[in-house]
Amino acid sequence: MLRKKILLIMTAITMTASVLHGNPLLKPYKTPHETVPFNEIKTEHFAPAFEEAMKVHKAEIDAIINNPKPATFENTIEALDKSGRLLSKVSAPFYALMGAETSDELQDIARELSPKLSEHSNSIRLNEKLFARIKAVYEQRDKLKLTPEQQTLLKQTYDGFADNGANLSDADKAKYRELSKELSLLTLTYGQNVLKETNKYELLITNKEMLKGLPNDVLDMLADNAKKAGKEGWLINLKATSTIPVMKYADNRDLRRELYMANSSKCMVGGEFDNRENIKKIANLRLEIAKLLGRKNYAEHVLTKRMAENSENVYDLLNNLLNAYKPTAEKEYAEVQAFADKHGAYFKVQPWDWAYYSEKLKSEKFDLNDEMTKPYFELERVKQGIFWLSNKLYGLNFKENPNIQVYHPEVKAYDVTDNKGKFVAVLYTDYHPRDGKRAGAWMSSTKDQWKEGKKNSRPHITNVMNFTRPTATKPALLTFDEVTTMLHEFGHALHGMLANTTYSSLSGTNVYRDFVELPSQIMENWGVEKEFLDQFAVHYETGEKMPAELIQKIKEADNFNTAYATLRQLSFGFLDMAWHTLEQPFEGDPIAFEKEAMASTQILPVVDNTAMSPTFSHIFSGGYAAGYYSYKWSEVLDADAYSVFQKNGIFDKKTADSFRINILEKGGSEHPMVLYKRFRGQEPMIDALLKRHGVSGN
């Protein structure tokens, strides 16, 4: 029996060694620019790779702790920043796939790994010996001759440990470990529920008359959905490529209402994917963690590392914008209602009517609609236009590299170089919806930038969207809103690609949450500029440039219903803050709580049995907890920053160089207000945003 047990153990060890030895995640990548070898990676490689990477990381931490020499910036702070590179190497492709090409198997692995990764992180953050060395360096910071970036790294390292329980008693550290593990698993479950509930819904239409009003390309897409599902007719799902055009164009009000209710009641009608209890548990766990760390609520815990600094400043921003925009938003609603009345509506405009009548009013008011502009916004040409803009501003060039492995056949990979031919970054683009891809649009990285010695290790950046696919008769054509989204996410990509810091933890988009949207939102401004549109906006059939009068209409219509859109964003900001300024555990009805939190921003009628919280992935599973206000905070920044381009010229090289050097390249290496003032010469003011939107600040 003993011999049999020994043989079994030896066999298991041999098999484990074999798996590790042949695991592509654990070997040096012999690929162009050391990019992820997606073709070689199998699902079963991830779990053992994570286990091995955590072991290696632990050994690196032990080496820092057991160093017999006194703690210094180099042997403790820098060494800590460099540790965990193998774990980052394994994590990056895993989470890239989790977002853009997931599967049940990957999600099972994620659920199994979540508590392990949480415990691994806690074992580092709560290590007394490691924190003692960090603290020893921190306490002599005024005597050290550190660069601004080194000072930032030291402060963020110390604060990162202190804010995550390093100063707690042993009992409280144990409590913190349990709470953070539970929270990690709950946020993962929440996000998986949203994806599964979204994918579950299908509405097959067999009577084409029900789809009256939809453009032909939308009908083609819905027919293609049905064909792929082995059905006849037109298949509507809850992906944005279906919901947005149906809500905007379908004459059938009952159909619009059906789709609105399905989309707005996800994860709150019972069943295995209901998130209402998860919301309460997540909010309460965050509150418990915050109180354990000596904060009165979770927002105060988070905001210590934000430009806003505290909840009072966040509420000041939200309330100032609410007061400025609400009168205009009410006028916008009244105008849409009057238009609907004039065209035979016998009802008060409801949420499922808003996009439909707004689009028709916009078409009448500006003689402009999506069907007029879409032929000029062919996806590939838009991408080339954005590449052109990136070259004009920052001297970047993009060349597709077919030798770089990708995680899906639709993904393209590009070598990014400067005008001297020097390699800058790798860019992956992924533009169309799939069942394995979550909704929305985002930028991520499969490798951050860092420097060591003479080596400047360059980043690998991914842009992911959910744009309508090409059909048998048409290429992929974008709405103007989708062009804006593409510009926005490319701004994030530029922030990542142009990173030029020493430390990976301060590189690219590793900045304060309420600063990270500046590089993305400023890019949206070029979307209405004729000089930019002239470079790529040509009719996909005739090759003719977009007429100047159509460009002018786009510019004139850019502020259409912008006050309503602002209040909608503010409503999400107020909701986020309400959940994260709780000071007592929440045991009530999350839907009723939401309605109260958003009440001051509501312009449209509030509909029973609908809510945002059960699918608000940004704050419950996406890193924006107590941070959703940052979109509006950054909009103030971007309007103020773009005013410099408007003054000096929208392609002015000197201004672009300053923005690149002081903002894009610096990442989180210094406090964002220091960086912003270095570019702008002053702190941002709200005036430029109000002027852009034609809204009075009084």
pLDDT (tens digit per residue) in 553-596: 999 898 999 999 999 999 999 999 999 999 999 999 999 999 99
Query: Across residues 303-311, what is the average pLDDT?
Result: 92
Q: 311: which 2 tokens? A: 């909840």
Residues noted as catalytic = 489
Over residues 422-434, mean pLDDT: 97
* CA-wise closest residue to 626 among 282, 323, 325: 282
Judged against a pLDDT cut of 70, whether residue 696 lies above it is answered with no
* pLDDT greater than 60 at residue 467: yes
Domain ranges of the chain: 2-125+127-167, 201-264, 375-522
pLDDT tens for each residue of 332-356: 999 999 999 999 999 999 999 999 9
Task: Inform me whether the pLDDT recorded for 4 exceeds 60.
Answer: no
- Which amino acid does the sequence have at 158? Y
Residue 15 binned pLDDT confidence (cut-offs 50, 70, 90) = very low
- Would you state the pLDDT for residue 449? 97
Coil, strand or helix at 345 = coil
Q: Percent of the chain scored above 90 by pLDDT?
A: 90
Predicted confidence (pLDDT) at residue 16 exceeds the cutoff of 60: no
- At 697 the pLDDT is 55
Q: Is it the case that residue 439 has pLDDT exceeding 90?
A: no
CA pair distance 438, 100, nearest whole angstrom = 6
Q: pLDDT-derived band of residue 297, with 50, 70 and 90 as boundaries? A: very high
Nearest to 374 by CA among 555, 216, 155: 216
* pLDDT reading at 10 higher than 50: no
What are the distances in angstroms from CA 356 to CA 167, 248, 571?
Answer: 55, 4, 21
The pair of structure tokens assigned to 631 is 């979109």
Q: Is the pLDDT of residue 386 over 70?
A: yes
pLDDT at 214: 96
| Among 486, 526, 533, 528, residue whose Cα is nearest residue 383 | 486
Give the bridge partners for 444, in sequence order.
Answer: 462
* pLDDT cut 70: percent of the chain above it: 97
Average pLDDT over residues 157-176: 92
Give the model's pLDDT for residue 247: 97
Band the pLDDT of 693: cuts 50, 70, 90: confident
- 695 or 149: which carries more pLDDT confidence? 149
Identity of the amino acid at 225: N
CA angle 313, 317, 323 (to 5 degrees): 135
Q: Which SS3 state, helix, strand or coil, does residue 634 take?
A: helix
> Is residue 286 within 8 Å of residue 190, measured between CB atoms?
no
Q: Do residues 612 and 334 touch, judged by C-beta distance below 8 A?
A: no
pTM here?
Answer: 0.88
- In the 8-state DSSP scheme, what is residue 601? G
Task: Give residue-wise pLDDT tens across range 42-81.
Answer: 999 999 999 999 999 999 999 999 999 999 999 999 999 9
- Rounded Cα distance between 87 and 98, Å, is 16
Q: Please provide the CATH number assigned to the domain covering 375-522.
A: 1.10.1370.40
The predicted-structure confidence for 538-561, as pLDDT tens digits, reads as follows: 999 999 999 999 999 999 898 999
Of 444, 470, 474, 449, the residue nearest 459 (C-alpha)? 449
Residue 125 has what pLDDT?
Answer: 92
How high is the pLDDT of residue 687?
Answer: 87
- 363: tokens are 């078409």
Burial of residue 652 (number of CB atoms within 10 Å: 0-12, 13-18, 19+): middle
Question: Token pair 């209405």 is at which residue?
Answer: 528
pLDDT over 90 at 1, yes or no? no
Question: How does residue 20 score in pLDDT terms, banded at 50, 70 and 90?
Answer: low
pLDDT at residue 483, as a whole number? 97
Left, alpha or beta for 603 (phi > 0: left; psi -120 to 50: alpha)?
A: alpha
Does residue 453 register a pLDDT over 70? yes
Q: First vs last Cα of the chain: how many Å apart?
A: 85
3-state secondary structure of 413: strand
pLDDT band at 19 (very low <50, low <70, confident <90, very high): low
* Mean pLDDT value of segment 430-435: 94
Say whether pLDDT at 167 is over 80. yes
Q: Decide: 156 and 162 in contact? Cβ < 8 Å.
A: no
Q: 2-125+127-167 maps to which CATH number?
A: 1.10.1370.40
Burial of 69 (0-12, 13-18, 19+ CB in 10 A): exposed
Q: DSSP 3-state helix, strand, coil percentages of the chain (rounded to 5)?
A: 60, 5, 35
| Separation of CA 115 from chain center | 23
Looking only at the bridges linking them, the beta strands covering 203-205 and 234-236 are antiparallel
C-alpha to C-alpha distance for 421 and 396, rounded to whole angstroms: 9
Give the C-alpha separation, 477 to 374, whole Å. 6
Mean pLDDT of the chain: 94
- Is the alpha carbon torsion for 622, 627, 633, 634 positive or negative? negative
Average pLDDT over residues 246-270: 96
The answer to whether domain 2-125+127-167 and domain 375-522 are alike in fold is yes
- CA dihedral defined by 609, 614, 619, 623, rounded to 10 degrees? -160
pLDDT at 178: 94
pLDDT tens per residue across span 625-653: 999 999 999 999 999 999 999 999 999 99
